[in-house]
Amino acid sequence: MANPPPTPDTVRVAEQLYADLGQAVGPPGRATVYRTIEQLNAAGWLARIHTQSGEAGYVPSLPGHLHHLICTDCGVVIAFAGCALDDLLARLASETDFAIEGHLLQLYGRCASCKK
């Protein structure tokens, strides 16, 4: 899969997406919005981000195996492909006899603007 460009975006929680949609096209039902978010997430078009408040947030995404860098100051999110965990996972699987089926990885820090 081609690497997507590292386009910065910001995390939106479901209630914000619901509010944004309401402004554009009139309010769809809250259940419809949440169901659609789940479908987009399952298909890879939205990535779920675990925010520091514990609330699930979302950013637009591309299908494929991606992870995210998240700025703890401004909330900008940068996706990256090419995670290099295969060696670690293979070692863990053999050491623990665990059938590893997936993983989550999010990196926190401060973006180029905020660290200045």
71 binding Zn ion? (CB under 5 A): yes
**CB-neighbour burial class of residue 10 (10 A; exposed 0-12, middle 13-18, buried 19+):** middle
Pattern 30-69, Zn ion, x by CB under 5 A: ----------------------------------------
Cβ of residue 22: shortest distance to Zn ion, in angstroms? 28
14: contact with Zn ion by CB under 5 A: no
Contact 37, 15 (CB under 8 A): no
97 within 8 A of 61, measured Cβ to Cβ = no
Q: Segment near Zn ion (CB under 5 A), from 28-36, 38-46, 51-59, 73-81?
A: 73-81
The number of residues in the chain equals 116
Q: Is residue 112 close enough to count as binding Zn ion by CB under 5 A?
A: no
Number of residues that bind Zn ion (CB under 5 A): 7
107 near Zn ion, judged by CB under 5 A: no
Please identify, using beta-carbon distances, which residue of 100 and 114 lies nearer to Zn ion. Answer: 114
Q: Which one, of 72, 8, 65, 13, lies nearest residue 37 by Cα?
A: 13
CB 6 within 8 A of CB 79: yes
Residues engaged in binding Zn ion (CB under 5 A): 71, 73-74, 76, 83, 111, 114
